[in-house]
Chains A and B, each alone.
Chain A
Amino acid sequence: MSEPLITLTGDGLYCPQGAFHIDPWNAAQYAVVTHAHSDHARAGSTQYLGATPGLPLLQSRLGTDANIRVIPYGEVLERNGVRISLHPAGHVLGSAQVRLECRGEVWVVTGDYKLAVDPTCSPFEPVRCHTLITESTFGLPIYRWDSNSDLMSRINSWWQTNKAAGKTSVIYAYSLGKAQRLMASVDSSVGSIFTHGAVENVTRAYRQSGVALPPTYPVNEVAPRTKPWVGGLVIAPPSAASSPWAKKFEPASDAVASGWMQVRGTRRRKAVDRGFAVSDHADWPGLLTVIKESGASRVLATHGFAQVLARYLREQGLDAGVIATRYGDEEEGAELAAEGEG
């Protein structure tokens, strides 16, 4: 076999023929970026390539003076004989799988992805390849998400119950992606939606990109004395939980929206009133579907339960292994380290 199209270097995934990195964790010459989450898009590289819908998010993450080139999904760009194209990953706005082709050999790096319904970004598109580098954050068969409509109707009824009891509903969700998915999916006729500053910044970028979202009211821009949030839904990043900032919403019921909430022990450790297993990552059946539909004969798993997924795939007759990127701690640590993005 010829030289592999992608190798792992100290800076991240690297394509030697094309002389570029994918989601490097150190500054690089040329970085192809799958999406704007902080563990994938890092400042300091000389040049960036991303998908068009993600431009405002990449700019706010990497700085307005960063040299970012964007191409529409599906458009091919050639670099040193390597054909690069980006394809929707369904993770967050502008998230992309990276397809590389060189002398008839095709590799795909999925980045983070999900198959679940999300009105704020383009749905995942399967891409055929020979070698697939897939994320495996939730690579255990106990992770099987309920349908988006079930999850949202549970959130709606929690919100309604709180409202009827004169309480504010506070939901903790990652400010880039999960927060917007929630505001676009909950029943906004129940009440008003309030945002933490970090959530509001990203929400503005989503609106700039043309994503339709219900009106939101930044908490720091409303008159606190009138407590306008009573009966409303407050969306805040996980870091705001049990902070003095969150105190002002009392009496409140709080919840966490994260895939890790699937497991009772994690739910209870969070010590919030509710845990909703809403994830922007693929569940176990989702991972298997994507792997199958890619037609790949070789699969490298990364992030989360990579060892488990790889062993399972080997037992199914695939050539599978693990590639140790730094997009989150490997194995057991993942549950604590990755909670923000789950």
Chain B
Amino acid sequence: MKAFADLYADLDETTSSSAKVLAMANYFKVTPPADAAWAVYFLSGRKPKQAVPSKRLRLWARELAGVDEWLFDECYEHVGDIAETIALLLPPAAKESDQPLADWVQNRLLPLRVMEEGLQKVAVTSAWLALNTRQRFVWNKLITGEFRVGVSQLLVVRALSQVTGLSTDVISHRLMGNWEPTPLFYSELMAPDTSDADVSRPYPFFLAHPLEGEPIALGPVEEWQAEWKWDGIRAQIVRRRGESFVWTRGEELVTDRYPELKRLADRLPDGTVLDGEILPWKEGVLPFGDLQKRIGRKTVSKKLLEEIPVVLMTYDLIEIAGADLREQPLSVRRRQLEAVVEQVADSALMLSPRLAFDSWDELIIQRQSSRDRRVEGMMLKRQNAPYRVGRVRGDWWKWKIEPFTVDAVLTAAQPGHGKRSGLYTDYTFGVWDDGKLVTFAKAYSGLTDAEIQQADTFVRANTLERFGPVRTVKPELVFELGFEGIQLSARHKSGIAVRFPRILRWRMDKPPEDADTLEQVKSLLLASKGDPIDVE
């Protein structure tokens, strides 16, 4: 635990990627496989579920530190993070434990979930007293299921690749899919023999870069393939040795949630991997909000299956007859993909059409129909490009349509977390309805550091009322918000829900009375052909 907490602190404090990779590589070089397996597990974004509710942790921490609730709350408001507040408040450790990470996880952390409250309290408080402040922070994050560290999986892969001398592709591949953080797994991960590849494993996804500016910069039009950019869940369907797997880009195995896709996968020839987008589809694509109703459900009712069926809109073939196709050019993969789709002939397997165009201008015109088609814009893919690993610039571009925009008034704010703790960075916005401001969206991102400071100062100086951490403010500031979609919603006061709201810019030129009205916002519904969501 000590070495892992030190590694966490090293990763947390530096902003340099190479320093992070170096810190991880140094850690893996000297760490025994049992601990290293858990470290890989946590660093690659996997985490145990919440073992103890944070309400209990607060209570026990207050008892142990002898701190009243109001004083705890003052500290929390200043720190902005429960796990950290607790770590800092507790009295110094009696004696620091040198128990290794795997021991901590297997013998102290995992059993917590099934303990009754009294035993949990003993286990948690005795753990606290065996850890220093930095270790407690990591421990608290782990038991509240909120462990996050500022490294991407790619950086972890680079560190492991440095330690083993294996290519990053091999490491990425071995890290995908379902695995248990055992010493055996770790030794397989680091094994020099690369002829492995577990049956279930998908390939690392090739991700597109956003296209800024016009596509003309991409060169001759003949070198490119264009498709719609579908608004669903990126997924790979894997069929190997008589077994089927559906993986999302979040590396979640979701085979059981989408029986339609399982059925289709079962019909694929052995040794096939398809890449595409899971879409809600009924004589055309349904709004993304509909798909959300399916995302969380582990078991799906017959009614829901009928109401919101899904398809795989496939656009790439990564493996056929057990052979890795990634080095083949897109044009070749596409031809074979078309053959597979035709051969399988399943209603849940659709082929993402190639758009016909002879000039970029033609494409620009077609792209204007995106919103009517309920797509996010276009994808531009280089015909002779291989299927690469991760977000590599140059061969795949996403060319999204402009977001919807609305000018809204800042009505409330609360302090952010992490890097932004102690600063008012989480904003609530309203639009006018009958002379009053009605809340219509919350947004967190989009301002520069200087603007964040400025907004923070405004919030502190113009507070009307305080509700816990939330302050309502004088309606004076206007911001242009962008969002990707809009739908009717019974759950929101304004009667609408927007997707991916974000701040585009601070409209310092606009007085609040010139901000948009709810009616204007609702008129965007027509443009988006949004259907009502969450009406049940």
Which residues does A use to contact B, with CB under 8 Å?
A: 140-144, 262-269, 271, 273-275, 305, 308, 311-312, 315, 332-333, 335
Closest to A267 in B: B13
Q: Which residues of B45-104 have CB atoms within 8 Å of chain A's CB atoms?
A: 65, 67-68, 70-71, 74-75, 78-81, 84-85, 88-89, 92
From A265, A312, A333, A335, give the contact of B71 (CB < 8 A): A312
Whether B71 lies near A264 (C-beta < 8 A) is no
Whether B79 lies near A265 (C-beta < 8 A) is yes
Contacts A141-B67, A142-B79 hold; do A271 and B15 have CB atoms under 8 A apart? Answer: yes
Whether A311 lies near B70 (C-beta < 8 A) is yes
Give how many B residues have a beta carbon under 8 Å from the other chain's beta carbons: 31
Whether A142 lies near B418 (C-beta < 8 A) is no
Whether A142 lies near B419 (C-beta < 8 A) is no
B354 within 8 A of A: no
Whether A266 lies near B71 (C-beta < 8 A) is no
Contacts A266-B422, A273-B13, A273-B15 hold; do A140 and B75 have CB atoms under 8 A apart? Answer: yes
Whether A263 lies near B89 (C-beta < 8 A) is no
Add 7 more A-B contacts to A144-B92, A269-B420, A332-B78 (CB < 8 A). A264-B12, A264-B418, A265-B418, A275-B13, A308-B71, A308-B74, A335-B422
Whether B75 lies near A269 (C-beta < 8 A) is no
Separation in Å of the A102 CB from the closest CB of chain B?
35
Whether A142 lies near B88 (C-beta < 8 A) is yes
Whether A268 lies near B84 (C-beta < 8 A) is no
B122 within 8 A of A: no
Question: Which of B12, B15, B70, B79 has the most chain A CB atoms closer than 10 A to its own CB?
Answer: B79
Residues of B within 8 A of A266 (CB): 421-422
B14 within 8 A of A: yes
From B15, B88, B460, give the contact of A332 (CB < 8 A): B460
Whether A273 lies near B14 (C-beta < 8 A) is yes
Residues of A within 8 A of B89 (CB): 141-142
Give 5 nearest A-B pairs by CB, closest first: A265-B421, A142-B88, A268-B419, A142-B75, A273-B14
Contacts A273-B19, A335-B422 hold; do A142 and B78 have CB atoms under 8 A apart? Answer: yes
Bound form: Cα–Cα A173–B489 in Å: 53
Bound form: Cα–Cα A262–B75 in Å: 12
Bound form: Cα–Cα A140–B70 in Å: 12
Separation in Å of the A247 CB from the closest CB of chain B?
16
Closest to B453 in A: A336
Residues of A within 8 A of B88 (CB): 142-144, 262-263
Bound form: Cα–Cα A269–B13 in Å: 10
Whether A269 lies near B419 (C-beta < 8 A) is yes
Whether A264 lies near B81 (C-beta < 8 A) is yes
Whether B78 lies near A263 (C-beta < 8 A) is yes
Bound form: Cα–Cα A332–B16 in Å: 30
Separation in Å of the A341 CB from the closest CB of chain B?
18
From A263, A273, A274, A315, give the contact of B421 (CB < 8 A): A263
Closest to B19 in A: A273
Bound form: Cα–Cα A230–B421 in Å: 35
Can you offer 12 A-B residue contacts whose CB atoms are under 8 A? Answer: A140-B78, A141-B67, A142-B85, A142-B88, A142-B89, A263-B79, A263-B84, A263-B421, A265-B420, A268-B12, A268-B13, A308-B74
Q: Is the interface of B mostly helix, strand, loop or mixed?
A: helix
Whether A332 lies near B71 (C-beta < 8 A) is no
Bound form: Cα–Cα A273–B89 in Å: 25
Closest to B137 in A: A264
Residues of A within 8 A of B420 (CB): 265, 269
Q: Is the interface of A mostly helix, strand, loop or mixed?
A: helix
Separation in Å of the B81 CB from the closest CB of chain A?
7
Closest to B76 in A: A142
Separation in Å of the A155 CB from the closest CB of chain B?
13
Bound form: Cα–Cα A266–B74 in Å: 16
Residues of A within 8 A of B137 (CB): 264
Closest to A142 in B: B88
Residues of B within 8 A of A268 (CB): 12-13, 418-419
Residues of B within 8 A of A308 (CB): 71, 74
Contacts A263-B79, A332-B460 hold; do A141 and B71 have CB atoms under 8 A apart? Answer: yes
Whether B422 lies near A265 (C-beta < 8 A) is yes
Separation in Å of the A198 CB from the closest CB of chain B?
25
Residues of A within 8 A of B418 (CB): 264-265, 268
Separation in Å of the B111 CB from the closest CB of chain A?
28
Whether B74 lies near A140 (C-beta < 8 A) is yes
Contact with A along B151-175 (1 / 0, CB 8 A): 0000000000000000000000000
Bound form: Cα–Cα A275–B12 in Å: 11
Closest to B14 in A: A273
Whether B15 lies near A265 (C-beta < 8 A) is no
From A262, A274, A305, A312, give the contact of B13 (CB < 8 A): A274
Residues of A within 8 A of B422 (CB): 263, 265-266, 332, 335
Residues of B within 8 A of A263 (CB): 78-79, 84, 88, 421-422
Separation in Å of the A151 CB from the closest CB of chain B?
13
Bound form: Cα–Cα A261–B71 in Å: 20
Closest to B420 in A: A265
Whether A141 lies near B14 (C-beta < 8 A) is no
Residues of A within 8 A of B71 (CB): 141, 308, 312
Contact with A along B483-496 (1 / 0, CB 8 A): 00000000000000
Separation in Å of the A277 CB from the closest CB of chain B?
10
Whether A141 lies near B81 (C-beta < 8 A) is no
Closest to A274 in B: B13
Q: Which residues of B128-169 have CB atoms within 8 Å of chain A's CB atoms?
A: 137
Separation in Å of the A227 CB from the closest CB of chain B?
20
Separation in Å of the A169 CB from the closest CB of chain B?
14
Contact with A along B169-212 (1 / 0, CB 8 A): 00000000000000000000000000000000000000000000
Bound form: Cα–Cα A293–B9 in Å: 37
Bound form: Cα–Cα A333–B84 in Å: 21
Residues of B within 8 A of A335 (CB): 78, 422
Separation in Å of the A124 CB from the closest CB of chain B?
21
Bound form: Cα–Cα A150–B80 in Å: 26
Closest to B75 in A: A142
Residues of B within 8 A of A262 (CB): 88
Residues of B within 8 A of A140 (CB): 74-75, 78
Bound form: Cα–Cα A322–B1 in Å: 43
Residues of B within 8 A of A271 (CB): 15
Residues of B within 8 A of A143 (CB): 88
Q: Which residues of B1-58 have CB atoms within 8 Å of chain A's CB atoms?
A: 12-16, 19
Contacts A141-B75, A142-B75, A332-B422 hold; do A265 and B13 have CB atoms under 8 A apart? Answer: no
Bound form: Cα–Cα A266–B89 in Å: 17
Bound form: Cα–Cα A312–B74 in Å: 11
Residues of B within 8 A of A311 (CB): 70
Contact with A along B406-424 (1 / 0, CB 8 A): 0000000000011111110
Q: Which residues of B400-444 have CB atoms within 8 Å of chain A's CB atoms?
A: 417-423
Separation in Å of the B518 CB from the closest CB of chain A?
34
